[in-house]
């Protein structure tokens, strides 16, 4: 079915010629010094605070039992029919995605429990690596999202975050900060635009 369209490069040389026709001297690239960037006395506290300002909820937990307990107290979780868990060692799922080929089949997923690689205190974002998800759409199509990340994997600012990623190893990776939202109707903030309606973040030891 897939008939790959070849690259259109008719104008390639023309564009490049225009870009090299006039010599412009650049200043060179600056060194980005992490020491000059914001650091916090208590990055965990900062992360929780920022996450709450963008509509997410953070929970400090000691073990997996506690995650299960907190989730089961949330009515939309207790009533959920299809839960996909990408951290089965902590939370069992009710839908096995290993057998699913077509991401469209995931349209009715209620909850996705994803795994975060690290979190950023400065902006409340969590890095989710594409390789941890059999289908990346799981992160966006589920009605509700939970991410499990260890609080020992917290960085102060985004520069440290990118340094941690190094060079991206899989085709997809995303910083998630809070539930999906919009303010396109008269600047009123509404949570749950197209992606998840709420975001729970579990900070494990």
Partner 1 sequence: MKSLPIVDHPTKARPFVADTERFHWHDQALWFVRSKRDKQAGSVPEWEHLRSLASQIKTETIANLGDYLVEFERNATALGATVHWAADAAEHNEIVLKILRDHETLRIVKSKSMLTEECGLNHFLEDNGIEVVDTDLGERIVQLRKETPSHIVLPAIHIRKEEVGDTFHEHLGTDEGASDPQYLTEAARQHLRDKFLAGEVGITGVNFAIAETGGLVVCTNEGNADLGVSLPRVHIACMGIEKLVPRFQDLSVFIRLLARSATGQPITTYTSHFHGPRDPNSELHIVLVDNGRSRLRNSNEFREALHCIRCGACMNTCPVYRRSGGHSYSATVPGPIGSVLSPTRDSSRYKSLPYACSLCGSCSDVCPVKIPLHHQLLAWRKELVGENLLPYSKRISMKAASILFRSPRLFSMAGWMGRKSLKILPHWATHNRLNTWTIARELPEPPRESFRHWYAENRKR
User: Closest distance between partner 1 and the C-beta of residue 43, in Å?
Assistant: 14
- Binding range to partner 1, per CB under 8 A, among 1-9, 59-67, 73-81, 87-95: 1-9
CB atoms under 10 Å from CB of 191, counted, come to 16
Closer Cβ to partner 1, 49 or 153, answer by number = 49
Is 173 a binder of partner 1 (CB under 8 A)?
Answer: yes
Residue whose structure tokens are 């090299």: 20
Rg (CA), the chain: 21
Q: Which stretch binds partner 1 (CB under 8 A): 67-75, 76-84, 88-96, 161-169?
A: 161-169
The footprint of partner 1 on residues 87-106 (CB under 8 A) is 103-104
Question: Considering the complex, what minimum distance in angstroms separates the CB of residue 52 from partner 1?
Answer: 12
76 binds partner 1 (CB under 8 A): no
Nearest to 93 by CA among 118, 125, 67: 67
Q: Which two tokens stand for residue 29?
A: 């690239």
Tell me: does residue 32 bind partner 1 (CB under 8 A): yes
CB of 148 to partner 1, least distance (A): 18
Provide the 8-state DSSP code for 97. G
Which of the residues 124 through 143 are near partner 1 (CB under 8 A)?
124-125, 135-137, 139-141
The tokens for 137 are 């759409």
- Six-digit token pair at 71? 């989730």
Establish if 115 lies at the interface with partner 1 (CB under 8 A). no
CB of 72 to partner 1, least distance (A): 26
Q: How far apart are CA 68 and CA 70, in angstroms?
A: 6
- What residues are paired with 190 via a beta bridge? 182
Beta bridge partners of 126: 119, 176
**Does 16 sit near partner 1 (CB under 8 A)?**
yes
């Amino acid at each position: 079915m897939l008939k790959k369209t070849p690259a259109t490069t008719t104008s390639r040389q023309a564009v490049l010629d225009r870009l090299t026709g006039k010599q412009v001297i650049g200043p060179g690239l600056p060194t980005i010094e992490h020491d000059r960037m914001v650091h916090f006395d208590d990055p965990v506290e900062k992360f929780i605070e920022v996450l709450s300002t963008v509509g997410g909820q953070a929970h400090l937990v000691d073990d997996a039992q506690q995650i299960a307990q907190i989730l089961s107290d949330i009515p939309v979780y207790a009533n959920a029919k299809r839960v996909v868990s990408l951290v089965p060692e902590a939370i069992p799922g009710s839908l096995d995605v290993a057998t699913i080929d077509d991401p469209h089949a995931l349209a009715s997923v209620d909850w996705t429990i994803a795994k975060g690689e690290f979190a950023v205190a400065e902006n409340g974002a969590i890095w989710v690596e594409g390789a941890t998800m059999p289908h990346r759409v799981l992160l966006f199509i589920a009605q509700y999202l939970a991410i499990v990340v260890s609080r020992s994997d917290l960085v102060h600012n985004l520069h440290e975050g990118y340094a941690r990623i190094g060079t991206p190893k899989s085709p997809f990776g995303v910083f998630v900060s809070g539930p999906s939202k919009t303010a396109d109707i008269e600047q009123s903030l509404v949570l749950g635009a197209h992606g998840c309606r709420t975001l729970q973040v579990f900070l494990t030891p």
